[in-house]
Amino acid sequence: MERSARVERLDAAWQAPGFAGFPAAGGALRRLLALPESLGVAIIVVGLFCLTVLAIAFVYGAPLSYPRERISLALGYSAVLPVVVAVILYVTLRLGRALIFRRGEGLGRIFQMVGTDITLMGLFLLATYFHFSLKTWVQLINPNLYDASYMAVDRAFYPVIELFNWIRSSYFTAVPNTDAWYQAAFLLMFICGFCSLAVTRNPVYSRFCVGVLLTICLGALSYLVAPALGPFLYEQGLNARATEAQAGMLWAHEQVMREGMSWIAEAGPSYFTGGLAAMPSLHMTHALVMSWFMIRARSLLIPFFLLICFWVVIESVVSRWHYLIDLPVGALLAVFIIWLTNRLCALSDRTT
């Protein structure tokens, strides 16, 4: 009864001229936005992104490949590993909460929450697949590279880079296996944020998820605007692991530029996460978006998230993955995504 009344109220609210001629589309959109925890917003965001990438693939004759990477060039280990870690942590926390709070949640509510979480996990994987697919094609779609201009900014502000190098050499070398933590800490940031907010059902959970999905989707499209490969073209960074990965990814890039989409179709699946794109720094965007919503959630993990943000700023530059200018552009993208997330989720909140 309650849901029927809610849908009837929405019918009146959505009788706008834009939907008057498309009642079926308007009804489907209403029902999507009425899904709990802004799940409909997440589905719409990923759906539009997938359609956009498919349209780009059709126009440019770009192949959609099934990933066959044993070891990701960017990560240094299998890209499946973070997924496995996320699932194990989620199941462990979910079971632990069920045992501790046996009478706190009904079975129906638990099934609804788990169903939402599994759907979101699927959306993350789908968005990530199309993200890396588009990233592989970036330099063929927009072959203009702005590395020289961005490196000129680095040279003008080189004292900042020297300061970052000093901080990294003086403090972060105390961390065991320092070179591996740029990617690993960033992935742990997402895994811990998602699992903790999902299991506790913090009210900010939906915004955290929509914000991450928007970063994956809009971030991939932002690579097309003013692309660059990275400052490692000009100088080696302090992270030996990153330097090795950069060499392999640069080789793959050269094959793409030499042979085009045919090489991506044939060999690309083995280099699925190996696309180079420096501008903007999506590590910066992701770190700020996730940290913002963790602060809004008043999570106990806030210090960990802020530390990773600081780590991303320092390591992204000293490893020469990113130019200095990539960071403020990534931060501006984060501000836009936070604003857009709040607007979209507020729209969904009004329909539930």
- What are the pLDDT digits (tens) for 125-179? 999 999 999 999 998 999 999 999 999 999 999 999 999 999 988 887 777 778 8
pTM of this structure: 0.88
Asked if residue 281 lies in contact with residue 322, where contact means CB atoms within 8 angstroms, the answer is: yes
Q: What is the mean predicted confidence (pLDDT) over 261-275?
A: 84
User: Is the pLDDT confidence value at 348 over 90?
Assistant: no
Whole-number pLDDT of residue 83: 83
Asked if residue 252 lies in contact with residue 73, where contact means CB atoms within 8 angstroms, the answer is: yes
Q: Report residue 70: phi and psi, to 5°.
A: -80, -45
Q: How many CB atoms are closer than 10 A to CB 66?
A: 7
User: Is the pLDDT confidence value at 22 over 70?
Assistant: no
Name which of 38, 314, 332, 9 is nearest 167 in CA terms. 314
Separation CA 286–CA 197 (nearest Å): 16
Length of the chain equals 352
pLDDT tens, residue by residue, 80-129: 888 888 888 888 888 877 777 655 566 677 778 888 889 999 999 999 99
Q: Report residue 39: phi and psi, to 5°.
A: -65, -35
Percent of the chain with pLDDT over 90: 49
Whole-number pLDDT of residue 273: 81
Separation CA 80–CA 72 (nearest Å): 9
Separation CA 345–CA 351 (nearest Å): 10
